[in-house]
Amino acid sequence: MSLKTRIADLIEAQGPMSVAQFMTISLLDPKEGYYATRDPLGSGGDFITAPEVSQMFGEMIGLWLVQAWSDQGCPKNPRLVELGPGRGTMMADILRTAAVAPEFLADLDVVLIEASPALQQVQADKLRGQNGILGADISWQAQFGGSLGDRPLFLIANEFFDALPVRQYVKTKRGWCERLVTASQGELKFALAPVPAPITTIPADREKAPDGGVYETSPAATALAENIAGIITAKGGAALILDYGYVEASGFSETLQAVSGHRFADTLDEPGEDDVSAHVDFVALAQAGRRGGANVSGPVTQGLFLANIGIAERAEQLMKANPDKSRDLLTATERLIGNDQMGTLFKALAFVPPAISDVAGFPP
């Protein structure tokens, strides 16, 4: 039975489901969920991410992490956590680069948060292959859990938060009604809840939305960001979140999208077959970080962040060493920081302990 049929049956039995529940099942169903069944980043995959564009991306982030650790007096027993490591490429590039600080690596506990067993395997193969250099332990968890609060936490997440489920509310004459997924004869459709949602869940600035305007929110994302910030505030560390997203909600339209084979697809058409994601609300994440007690830097654009930490200099260095690769290196750099490529759509946000004020890559 296809995942779509199973979702339709579930809706027939229990009533309409939230967009958030639809996203969770589509992406993470253990049998047929999108991430559970494939490597979406592989050759012939559905999308390509910054670490897969160039090793420079993970290298710069590795240096950023070592810098953050050293800014805080090189705390003992650091833990390095990556949320949603994909193919393990960025972690491999980070660990290779972090060898510039052997004391950072010496008692490093590396934890990869990955819901998909298939991708856990891809990551293990990748990291086992390369890590003669690494004394650190690497382990996996399906979710960011309570056990990760006992050490200084250095955390990175690239294109992870966009996969977290969002809820959507639509402005109507009756008030804000939640957008739900319903089913009829095996097909899935959007519909509005007949009863408005309790108005307290809608931020005041959305009240000027016209009829049909959408308010999108990810309680899963903000709860996780607050939790991470709380650990960093209590134990030290730093978090760096990179993703496509917005600082000001541009208008009042939804950002939920489905992508298949590098093309946009109909969100409800083939659950489990298409990547479903939403743009990240960086203001909401920043607020969550402050609620957790952290000093929040950014959001700034990915282009500015990478330029500030020296990606152009790194590209030049690599070009000198490998003149035959110059063209590829230029193209990759342009792809990561160019305004019409990933440079502006993608944003960077950092959390550090309240006592730390200067964070590499972010304007003071």
Contacts of 59 (CB under 8 A, 6+ apart): 93, 94, 96, 97, 314
Which range binds ligand SAH by CB under 6 A, 46-54, 97-105, 323-331, 339-347? 46-54
Instruction: Decide if residue 29 touches ligand SAH (CB under 6 A).
Output: no
Which residue's beta carbon is nearest to the bound ligand SAH?
A: 84
Task: Give least dist CB 37 to ligand SAH, A.
Answer: 11
Instruction: Decide if residue 27 touches ligand SAH (CB under 6 A).
Output: yes
Instruction: Decide if residue 160 touches ligand SAH (CB under 6 A).
Output: yes
CB 131 within 8 A of CB 141: no
Interstrand relation of 137-141 and 109-113 (parallel, antiparallel or unpaired): parallel
Q: Which of 26, 49, 218, 297 binds ligand SAH (CB under 6 A)?
A: 49
Contacts of 254 (CB under 8 A, 6+ apart): 168, 179, 214, 216, 278
What stretches of the chain show up as alpha helix (H) in DSSP?
A: 3-14, 19-28, 50-53, 55-71, 89-97, 102-106, 117-130, 219-235, 282-291, 302-308, 311-321, 326-337
Tokens found for residue 359: 């964070």
Q: Which of 33, 51, 152, 303 binds ligand SAH (CB under 6 A)?
A: 51
Which residue number, 170 or 280, has a Cβ lying nearer to ligand SAH?
Answer: 280
> How far is the C-alpha of 29 from the C-alpha of 271, rounded, in Å?
10
Task: Give least dist CB 347 to ligand SAH, A.
Answer: 14
Task: Give least dist CB 203 to ligand SAH, A.
Answer: 24
Instruction: Decide if residue 245 touches ligand SAH (CB under 6 A).
Output: no
Interstrand relation of 257-260 and 137-141 (parallel, antiparallel or unpaired): unpaired
Q: Which of 62, 85, 196, 230 binds ligand SAH (CB under 6 A)?
A: 85
Which range binds ligand SAH by CB under 6 A, 3-11, 48-56, 147-155, 337-345? 48-56
Q: Which of 33, 58, 62, 86 binds ligand SAH (CB under 6 A)?
A: 86
Q: Which residues of 141-171 are buried (b: 16+ CB within 10 A; e: fewer)?
A: eeebeeebeebbbbbbbbbbbbbbbbbbbbb
Which range binds ligand SAH by CB under 6 A, 71-79, 81-89, 284-292, 332-340? 81-89
Contacts of 57 (CB under 8 A, 6+ apart): 50, 51, 90, 93, 158, 306, 336
Binding mask 98-137 for ligand SAH (x = CB under 6 A): ---------------xxxx--x------------------
Which residue number, 91 or 202, has a Cβ lying nearer to ligand SAH?
Answer: 91
Q: Which of 7, 23, 35, 215 binds ligand SAH (CB under 6 A)?
A: 35
Which residue number, 27 or 138, has a Cβ lying nearer to ligand SAH?
Answer: 27
> How far is the C-alpha of 126 from the C-alpha of 270, rounded, in Å?
30
φ, ψ for residue 308, nearest 5 deg: -60, -35
Interstrand relation of 187-192 and 214-217 (parallel, antiparallel or unpaired): unpaired
Residue 137 CB neighbour total at 10 angstroms? 11
Which residue number, 114 or 178, has a Cβ lying nearer to ligand SAH?
Answer: 114
φ, ψ for residue 332, nearest 5 deg: -65, -45
**Residue length of the chain:** 364
Which residue number, 35 or 104, has a Cβ lying nearer to ligand SAH?
Answer: 35
Instruction: Decide if residue 84 touches ligand SAH (CB under 6 A).
Output: yes
Q: Which of 72, 158, 255, 295 binds ligand SAH (CB under 6 A)?
A: 158
- Contact residues for ligand SAH (CB under 6 A)? 27-28, 35, 41, 49, 51-52, 84-86, 90, 113-116, 119, 143, 158-160, 163
